[in-house]
Structure 1
Amino acid sequence: MRYGANDVLRDVRFQARHGEVLALLGPNGAGKTTTIEILEGFRMRSAGRVDVLGADPANGDERWRARIGVVLQSWRDHGNWRVRELLAHLGSYYQRSWKTHELVEAVGLTAHAAKKIKTLSGGQRRRLDVAIGIVGRPELLFLDEPTAGFDPRARHEFHDLVHRLARDHATTVLLTTHDLAEAGKLADRIVVLAGGRIIADGTQHELARQVAGEDEVRWTQDGTHHTRTTADSTGLVRELFARHGTAIGQLEVRRASLEDTYLALVRQEEMAAR
């Protein structure tokens, strides 16, 4: 993607598999929004090839659009609509939509189904955004910061919903978020975009190996604290107990968190670009 003489995206290559939850991560200005808008068919690319559900998004017709769902960071809605009425109305445009009461229950709005949208709290409106995005039972769902404004319980319930969509309905989910803990919980695979290009693609464990390479194992023995880094933490733990048995205490294995891995990857990219 090029604006004037500036390449915002270059040589971006990745694939989302059927029924997979894929997280697209990257710092502000990395090109995430542009990438997503190209995939959704809302922005024309400058060059390259894009295939979404067997079609070029630039030429996607209404039948193709009915197969995708989009949850934006915010949605300008009609405040005087009632939740149940709006979802029933939107569902009428799709051949395979959710039953309205099931959808309302799935996003945790049953107690608010008869309320006008303008009376909902921020978190409740965010749940409605999600309901609007999945009302047509999409084969591919784009989620942009989906749980912004959710309390911990609502976030947990939403994570369960995403897993059910992928597992039970074979929905492919493309997630963009700055909540790295959320990405770690939801994503089967993670793609990191920085400086307009893909700098990493793999599972959380694969990316951690790529950056850090080793786990950190801590334990005490005879009152002395020990720390060792190793590429095989399981083997080290077995060896420790085989040699020292119950003399081993306070055992802790620390693998690099997704936040550790992400920051290291972005830092490496920034240093390489200097």
Structure 2
Amino acid sequence: MIGRAAPGRSGGVRVLLYHAIDDPHPADCLSLRVSRRQFLDQMAVLRDDAYAVVPLDAVFHPQPDNGRLPVAITFDDGYRTVAWAAAVLKDFGFPATFFVVPRFLDGVQSPAAYWEEWAYLTWGDLAALADHHEFAVGAHSTTHLDLRRCADARLAWEISEAKLLLERRIGRAVTSFSYPFGRHDRRVRRAVERAGYELACTSRYGLNRSPGSRYAVHRTEVAGRDSLRDFHWKLRGKYDWLAHWQDLGPLP
């Protein structure tokens, strides 16, 4: 049993990264699937302990010094199971940002779509998410490539076309971006800024303190293999040392 413990004064915002909310699968070698039970328990921690769930853009706004650690919630890839998670978030009154790949929603599967159980949101699903005032939709590129390896023209298209397609479909501005695989470099970051995005998320562990780079927002990944103790520890920064190894070479 893990007792309640205040995270203390941090002066920053922790951004959580989720992928799918679903039952475990033997082929999920990256442990991307967080079960529904896990997710419910984790949201209860955020509600009951000394945390304040905030919108993603709060990473660049001063937060009240009230002893509560600000936490933002994000999802990558646009798996259909996040529609269930969205209903849970509404019940808790939590904001969240959903990063999606337009071509996945068009039914064009990525080579990395590991098995049939990994269905993506439909455009109708996404429109329903976007209609909720606490939810934001962000772009995760157009086709989910490693953007560092794209020629300049393809890089610009991957970034700007995703924004255009999403805005056209949901009728709202898309101002945030998530790098596929978390991989980026100076050229990619500049391309994201030129395309008109206001911030971009990585998968590098760490707390976001102001001032920080708008185009290299740190996120802490929540994995299916995580126990509730692991979740507590990740919130408190006990896994932030992993950023050192991520700097040596991007994780998949």
Please give the range of the TM-score, normalised by the shorter of the 2 chains.
0.3 to 0.5
Query: Which structure has greater helix proportion?
Result: 1
Query: Which structure has greater strand proportion?
Result: 1
Larger Rg computed on CA atoms: 1
Normalising by the residue count of structure 1, what TM-score does the alignment of the two structures yield? 0.33
Normalising by the residue count of structure 2, what TM-score does the alignment of the two structures yield? 0.35
